[in-house]
Amino acid sequence: MSAMPMERHELDDEEAAALEVLAARIRELCEAAVVTGTGAGEAAAVAAEVEALTARLAGRRHPAPPYAVSGNGVMDRATANPVTGALNPLAPPVRLTTGPDGVVRGEYTLGHLYEGPPTYVHGGVSAMVLDQALGMAAVVNGTPGMTATLDMRYRRPTPLGVPLSVEAKANRVDGRKVYASGTITGRDGRVTVEASAMFIMPTHFVPAGN
């Protein structure tokens, strides 16, 4: 579990596209698994088939997931990231983009897999999405770091099954610390969650001369 990005394998476009489709199908499988009414016998039969499929995939394995790094050095294609990773079946995934204003934005819809209170998004899932968006805002700001603090304010319940927007921006840099804030907004334009965070660039990541 220790391979650093530069030690990881790269995917060609064809393999990446195929694995992205595989992740999408597994995501559908996960969703189906929590709502199925198929009954015990059929569930057991499907479990055996899934076990066989897993064995097929695991027959040849890398020590760690791929880690595509884009030209500007920002890991905006962290393919197995649990929030944005298109190759990760656990990721919704949330597509985050950055505007010229340095604001990180994304649109996403969450289904049954991410339910906390009935019909609403689990608060920890919203925290995960905001951690990622705020962290990316820190990266875009030129000051990547590890999450040191993450403060959440849940203003109103966040609904499942409707498009949500996330926005994040870096506000201030103080040495190795960068402060960022962001929101999740529902379809009615009302903010459901606010977050602020402080990221710290570990000393070994500080560029020489700083």
Binding positions for ligand 3VV, rule: CB under 6 A: 74-75, 131-132, 135-136, 139, 144-149, 200-203, 205
Indicate the DSSP class of residue 115: B
Q: How far is the CB of 170 from ligand 3VV (least distance, A)?
A: 11
Secondary element (H or E) of residue 20: helix 13-35
Nearer to ligand 3VV, 110 or 198 (CB): 198
Q: How far is the CB of 60 from ligand 3VV (least distance, A)?
A: 28
Q: Are 132 and 83 in contact (CB under 8 A)?
A: yes
- Write phi, then psi, for 179 (nearest 5 degrees): -105, 135
Instruction: For residue 110, give both structure tokens.
Output: 């969450």
Instruction: For residue 5, give both structure tokens.
Output: 């990005």
Q: How far is the CB of 64 from ligand 3VV (least distance, A)?
A: 16
Nearer to ligand 3VV, 110 or 138 (CB): 138
Rg (CA), the chain: 19
The residue at minimum Cβ distance from ligand 3VV is 135
Nearer to ligand 3VV, 75 or 152 (CB): 75
Q: Are 155 and 120 in contact (CB under 8 A)?
A: no
- What is the end-to-end Cα distance of the chain in Å, rounded? 31
CA 185 → CA 82, 106, 126, 156, distances in Å? 21, 11, 11, 10
Q: How far is the CB of 22 from ligand 3VV (least distance, A)?
A: 23
Q: How far is the CB of 141 from ligand 3VV (least distance, A)?
A: 11
Q: Are 161 and 194 in contact (CB under 8 A)?
A: no
What's the number of CA atoms in the CB half-sphere (13 Å) around residue 43?
A: 10
Q: How far is the CB of 63 from ligand 3VV (least distance, A)?
A: 20
